[in-house]
Amino acid sequence: MAIRIKTPEQIEGIRQSSILAARTLKFLEPHVQPGVRTADLDALCEQFIRDHGAIPATKGYHGFPASCCISPNEVICHGIPGAYVLKEGDIVNIDVTTILNGYYGDTCRMFSVGKVSDYAERLMKTTRECLRIGMQQCFPDNFLGNIGYHINLHAVAHGYSVVFEFCGHGVGLSFHEEPEVSHIAPKNSGPKLKPGMIFTIEPMINAGKARAKVDKKDGWTARTIDGKLSAQYEHTILITEEGCEALTDVFGDF
Ligand code: MF3
Ligand code: CO
Ligand code: CO
């Protein structure tokens, strides 16, 4: 299967779904507070998505049990909302994927729970910069691999490491389409970008070692092997004639 070039009608559908995914994160923001259970955030997330005529894509996806992924502190991604209670100083990722009229939008961001350490702030800031640096490589006829090439350079320059076991992905008509978007790649590698391609960039940046280990009991939760912090931000990106447009960048807050 080749990388799909989306039609104008498909792009409009994916845009509407992406806007809803972004609005879901905005809706959750004031609820991310010390003392809240991640399962309660998930319930709010599901209600908001369904109230807007959409479906949470993660629910039942390969058996994933929740409407979003919630990944605190050393959890890299795919955290299952549950009994964990957020506490002052935590950093937490919430990843929302919506299906609206059959179209997918996918975005995630970090939230600070109360006041967090400068160490955690710096990791989140560099991870936001990595996403933006990846987006700067999104223009027609550039190589896909240059996204990961430049993300990795930036992360390493700040003393961090890039998770290589999870990637961005084509998105829009289904959850995970071609291409796979690695956040660490050789310069000028991979296919060339073309207008109408839609994929995510979602760098996961670790304060310590790059390696991830998946929880043996739940089969989902991916943590850093050294227990150090990890951060992630994600946008759904459309390649345009001029460059790119982040369809989930509705509020401009990351
Ligand atoms: N939203 C995640 C992504 O950015 C995927 C979550 S899959 C799940 O690709 F099954 F863990 F929910
Ligand atoms: Co994604
Ligand atoms: Co996502």
Domain ranges of the chain: 8-246
Q: State the Cα–Cα distance between residues 244 and 79, nearest whole angstrom.
A: 30
Averaged pLDDT of the chain = 98
Cα 89 to ligand 1 centre (Å): 25
Rounded mean pLDDT, 71-78 = 99
Residue 131: pLDDT band with limits 50, 70, 90: very high
Helix, strand, coil % over all residues of the chain, rounded to 5: 30, 25, 45
- pLDDT in the model for residue 53: 98
- Nearest Cα residue to atom 12 of ligand 1: 58
Q: What is the architecture of the domain spanning 8-246? A: Alpha-Beta Complex (3.90)
H/E stretch holding 224 reads strand 222-224
* pLDDT (mean) for 195-223: 98
For ligand 1, atom 11, the nearest C-alpha belongs to 78
pLDDT digits 0-9 by tens, 182-206: 999 999 999 999 999 999 999 999 9
Long-range contacts of 25-34 (CB under 8 A, 24+ apart): 25/94, 25/96, 25/107, 25/108, 25/109, 26/250, 26/251, 28/94, 29/111, 32/86, 32/92, 32/94, 32/111, 32/113, 33/86, 33/113, 33/114, 34/86, 34/87, 34/88, 34/113, 34/114
Find the 54 Cα to ligand 1 centroid distance in Å: 17
Model pLDDT for residues 237-249, shown as the tens digit of each residue: 999 999 999 999 9
H helix or E strand, kind and range, residue 44: helix 38-51
Band the pLDDT of 232: cuts 50, 70, 90: very high
CB of 58 within 6 A of ligand 1: the answer is yes
pLDDT band with cut points at 50, 70 and 90 for residue 1: confident
Residues with C-beta atoms within 5 A of ion ligand 2: 106, 200, 202
Longest dimension (CA), the chain: 48
Q: Whose CA is closest to atom 7 on ligand 1?
A: 58
